[in-house]
A and B are shown apart, each in its own frame.
With several copies, the nearest count.
Chain A
Amino acid sequence: MTAQQGLPLDVSGAAEHPEPLDRAGLAARVARDVPAYAYVNLGIGQPTTVADHLDPAQGVVLHTENGMLGMGRAAHDDEVDPDLINAGKVPVVEPPGASYFHHADSFAMMRGGHLDVCVLGAFQVSAAGDLANWHTGAPDAIPAVGGAMDLAIGAKQVFVMMSLFAKDGSPKIVPSLTYPATGLACVDRVFTDLGVFAVDHERGRVVLLEAYGTTAADLAERLTGA
């Protein structure tokens, strides 16, 4: 199950790094690609940890879809205010310069293309940049989408952050999705423990930018069998 025929993958220009990225390293690597002064939405779960690696000097402003721009860090102890939470329902703090708005305005902000970057987890990303992150497709699963489909189509750039291989060893970058789609042709960059990839939308292929803890050739073999 590990190699896939037909994944259009270009590894020719990839840089190689000796160590794989651990969770903190991956979050830091994503943070490095967030442009200065960007407006950014960090998806629930692992993407949230990117915030810890943003340099305040970058001037990045965080959006949370439950109605806040300029969201602060997680709240601790007596900072916790049940009226002030992020999209993952974790209490956060209010830094100076924040603003609040209702859900329709918040999603208008997102869907209107005003966010520069959103960072999402994924089950799968296809060579065309299709994203699957909301539904396993299991027949007895209860569907629950939250804001995933809005985030997938709304931001100027969509970053995915995930492990490159599933627990069963199968690649999560795939020729075409086998899980139900969240959005089509929406992913721009994929950050994983073993490699950072760009989606080349014009040519419908995935380009390895950096390999971590392995070689470009090894990744090519594990992803394409070639």
Chain B
Amino acid sequence: MGRTTFHTDPVEALAGVADGDTVLVGGFGMAGMPVRLVDALIDVGAKGLTIVSNNAGNGETGLAALLKAGRVAKVICSFPRQADSYVFDGLYRAGEVELEVVPQGNLAERMRAAGAGIGAFYTPTGVGTLLAEGKEQRTIDGRDHVLEMPIRGDWALIAAQAADPMGNLVYRKTARNFGPVMATAAATTVVEVRETVDLGAMDPEAVVTPGIFVDRVVTS
């Protein structure tokens, strides 16, 4: 349903996040990371979350802080291990957080499938690797493929450059990354933006995420 709502308090914008929810978190490294929303998610207090994001946090801020606060039961990501991902590393080795490693293209495509009403799809990515073990395979036109299932979020938390009153979004440079895909794949999408623009001020040809995918916008 329409009418994107606008909020200045990110905690208010996350009203309804519940224990056990799956939360898609945008960003590739810090570009496109919804920093205020991730911080607010700690304040919200929901536990047992499944976090779907490209990485698993750096240092002790953002997703790492969420992990450290003990709110995360499972991480689905392509690249958890980084130079300063020690919070995740520790929890993982202690068996306190479950990990599903997904090739980055499958991560994006599985969320795209959830948003696009695709029940499952066959991809050659991962064939013959540990990450395809136990997955159904099929040979199509002589090439082996793995069956991959959609990844759906209860929530998507993303960052964008600007929103208009309809909830239409534009992004900036490579900070676009997972945002437009996650926005389509969640029951409720919450976006933190740097600016809001007037109705009619956004070029309809250049809208990247139409407002239909945007439920709540957090402004500064």
Residue numbers of A with Cβ under 8 A of B are 35-39, 59-61, 63-70, 81-86, 89, 94, 96-104, 106-116, 130, 135, 140, 142-150, 153-154, 180-184
Contacts and interface: CB of A to CB of B under 8 A. Distances in A.
Interface in B135-192: 164-166, 168, 171-181, 184
A85 to B, nearest CB: 5
Give the secondary structure class of A's interface.
Answer: loop
A180 B88 CA distance: 23
B31 A145 contact: no
Given A35-B1, A153-B125, A102 B176 contact: yes
Nearest to B109: A104
Interface stretch (B11-19, B39-47, B65-73, B99-107): B99-107
B103 A70 contact: no
Contacts of A110: 105, 117
A225 to B, nearest CB: 27
A107 B109 contact: yes
Contact of A84 (B81, B105, B123, B173): B173
Given A69-B212, A144-B79, A61 B166 contact: yes
Contact of A66 (B101, B114, B174): B174
B28 interface: yes
Contacts of A68: 173-174
B1 A116 contact: yes
Sort chain B's interface into a size bin.
Answer: 35 or more
B207 A142 contact: no
A137 to B, nearest CB: 9
Interface of B: 1-3, 28-32, 78-82, 88-89, 92-93, 99, 101-109, 111-112, 114-118, 123-131, 164-166, 168, 171-181, 184, 199-200, 202, 204-205, 207-208, 210-213
A109 B210 contact: yes
Contacts of B106: 149-150
Contacts of A84: 31, 173-174
Contacts of B211: 61, 69-70, 97, 99
Contact of A145 (B30, B78, B178, B213): B78
A83 B184 CA distance: 22
Contact of B127 (A37, A106, A184): A184
Contacts of B117: 108, 110-113, 153-154
B128 A184 contact: yes
Contact of A103 (B89, B103, B164, B181): B181
Nearest to A177: B128
A104 B102 CA distance: 14
Given A109-B210, A110-B105, A70 B166 contact: yes
A96 B79 CA distance: 31
Given A61-B211, A153-B125, A114 B184 contact: yes
B174 A96 contact: no
A39 B215 CA distance: 13
Contact of A100 (B118, B126, B181, B204): B204
A37 B88 CA distance: 41
